Structure 1
Amino acid sequence: MPTDQPQSSGQGLLRQVKRTLLALNVLSLDAPLVALAWQDLIAHQLDASLLFSQRIVLGLTTWLVYAGDRLLDARPELDSQSRLPRHRFAGRNRRKLLALWGIGAIGNLLLIPVAMSRGAWPVAIGLGIALVLYFLACERFPRIARRLIPRESVVSLFFVTAAFFFPLMNNWPDSWGAGSSVFLSAATLYGLAFANCFAIACWERREDARMSESTLATRCPQPAFCLHRVTEAIVLALLVAILVGVGSAVFLTFAMLSAVSLRVMDRRVSPLIRPALADACLLLPWLAVLFS
């Protein structure tokens, strides 16, 4: 009898962790946390300081982009019957999410002038226009836009740009001295973000196909095979880079650990929790910042 209590407590803790991860994923809060984690690691690599307002702007911008993309695909009549928790939540709460999205957008616009230097405005405006055009294309011509511009590529590119934006801005022009290292880190983060997006698309392939959503996984004849090769190629490339001594060893190591986690959970984790856990694994960089 006494041995049952620790096991029961462990199972209860595991259920609570699962509920927390699913709640973060359903509310699109995991993506901002991941962006903040990698921003901290990039700032540590560049020896750049970050303002609190810059952290808030990154978190809000990331949430607005991810939640906005999810709202574009929200169709209440279908999402309420979906097997995916995030689809069901978006379908049942679309109006509330739209109102919250509007409030977040206004708050972000008010904070941006505080967080951003004048020299960075042209870059920020250009990125904003590109995102608006992408969203408009997906709204007006969803099937064509998703096929011509894969969501996985857009999300990965945005993620890298957002995570590097303030550390580079705050350390400009000194960051040019670490140009090759920064480029390698950016390419690494893009590959990792792409692998994460592609993995989630592969795990949700059947449901996305049922909902008539276009992803690389729904168009790929052997998504599992492609996912394994992509993650294995990333791990191998990062391992070689670490052994050769190219770039930031800490950055590359945590990127490799995140890629390994994606590969392992493809077989050993419940399909329901995989997407949320895949995003949670990308929070590993905070360990480096915490113990540095």
Structure 2
Amino acid sequence: MATILSDASRTTTRSLRGLISIPNILSLDAPLVAIGWQWLMLFAFANPATRNEQTLTAPMFTASTIVLFMSVWLIYTADRLLDCRRMDFDRKASRRHRFAKRWSPIMWPLWGAVLMLGGLIALTHLHRELLFAGSILLIFVTLYAAAVHYLQRGIPKEFIVGTLFAIGVSLPVMTSRLTLSLVIAIGLLAALFVLNCLCVAKAQRASDRQQGIGSAILMFPHLSVRLPWLAGMLATASAVLGTVGLIPTSIAATISLSSILLIPIAVSIDDQIGGLTASQWGELADYALLLPFMVMAIVT
């Protein structure tokens, strides 16, 4: 009986590990993170006099959310598919890259269809200022992608990705009002996303080294052991800035809590606590950024 229960427990654990990996393998984790923070930013920086249910469900807001989700999925999926062209799969490789390699004949046509649909929605439903700002951001994303996939090494991509991601989720607010409070919030958000990317890079540094894929963790190895301290500093800074009123309380609290969640994840990547591999702990780092959905459920 004890053996049967033990086997059942191991089977359940393996199933849970598999479920954790599914959003990452399908490139759905980053788009979900993006729309969660976009919603929270829109709510936090909405005019209190006009903040109501209509503000959060307006057609323009719905269109920007759909376009953001599609855009992030397109960027992350293309990045993996392009990585696969130069990877040696006889060496260590992440599950998401192996998935992308296996299903690339299907994913490329799907990618093209999503691109056309997303472009159509953007052109027909986004207001001029947001469309223009998004186009500028797209240019920087394209330059980044070209540099990473052609230069390959010598680019601390996690810092670039985190910053571009923070700007991307904040574009609807930036195009309507740009204040000191918003700039500070975007800066803190960029730091959070950079920390997340560094945790992921730490988790996959072994495969990146074998595949010749550059990352900030490989360029600056000392960052690996300092991630928990950096996350703690970001949590403290966000809490202080929220307390003194320089950024909205909802933004400060969510960044602080997300940073705190990254601390045990950053520590566990090397120790592989809980029977999870380093790669699986890296996948959990994205779940730490899904707190905006919980906060929005509480405050709305």
Alpha-carbon distance between aligned partners in 1 of 2:296 and 2:12, rounded to the nearest angstrom: 26
Describe the superposition over 1:61-118 as per-residue Cα deviations: whole angstroms up to 9, x where unpaired.
0111111222221147613643421122122223322222111111111110233112
What residue is the counterpart of 1:214 in the other structure?
Answer: 214
Describe the superposition over 1:212-237 as per-residue Cα deviations: whole angstroms up to 9, x where unpaired.
11101111232322323321221221
Name the aligned partner's letter for residue 26 of structure 1. Answer: I
The aligned runs of 1:77-226 (5 Å cut-off) are 78-79=88-89, 81-143=91-153, 147=154, 149-169=155-175, 172=176, 175-176=177-178, 179-226=179-226
Root-mean-square deviation (Å): 2.5
Give the CA deviation at 1:10.
7.6
1:284 and 2:294 are equivalent in the alignment:
no
Alpha-carbon distance between aligned partners in 1 of 2:245 and 2:173, rounded to the nearest angstrom: 23
Instruction: Please say if residues 238 and 253 of structure 2, whose CA atoms lie closer than 8 Å, have aligned partners that are also in contact.
Output: yes
Structure 2 gap segments, 5+ residues each? 47-54
Alpha-carbon distance between aligned partners in 2 of 1:201 and 1:140, rounded to the nearest angstrom: 19
Alpha-carbon distance between aligned partners in 1 of 2:39 and 2:132, rounded to the nearest angstrom: 24
Give the CA deviation at 1:192.
0.2
Distance 1:21 1:184, change over 3 A: same
What residue is the counterpart of 2:19 in the other structure?
Answer: 20
Alpha-carbon distance between aligned partners in 1 of 2:90 and 2:238, rounded to the nearest angstrom: 41
Alpha-carbon distance between aligned partners in 2 of 1:82 and 1:94, rounded to the nearest angstrom: 19
Distance 1:112 1:221, change over 3 A: same
What is the TM-score of this pair, normalised by structure 2? Answer: 0.84
Name the aligned partner's letter for residue 186 of structure 1. Answer: I
Distance 1:77 1:41, change over 3 A: closer
Higher normalized contact order (CA 8 Å, seq sep 6+, divided by chain length) = 1
- Farther off after superposition, 126-135 or 68-77: 68-77
Q: 1:57 aligns with which of 59, 67, 73?
A: 67
Instruction: Please say if residues 204 and 279 of structure 2, whose CA atoms lie closer than 8 Å, have aligned partners that are also in contact.
Output: no
What is the TM-score of this pair, normalised by structure 1? Answer: 0.86
- Farther off after superposition, 225-234 or 58-67: 225-234
Give the CA deviation at 1:11.
6.7
Q: How many residues align?
A: 280
Instruction: Please say if residues 76 and 91 of structure 1, whose CA atoms lie closer than 8 Å, have aligned partners that are also in contact.
Output: no
Alpha-carbon distance between aligned partners in 2 of 1:40 and 1:13, rounded to the nearest angstrom: 34
Name the aligned partner's letter for residue 227 of structure 1. Answer: L
Describe the superposition over 1:218-273 as per-residue Cα deviations: whole angstroms up to 9, x where unpaired.
11232322323321221221232234343111111111111111111223442232
Name the aligned partner's letter for residue 131 of structure 2. Answer: W
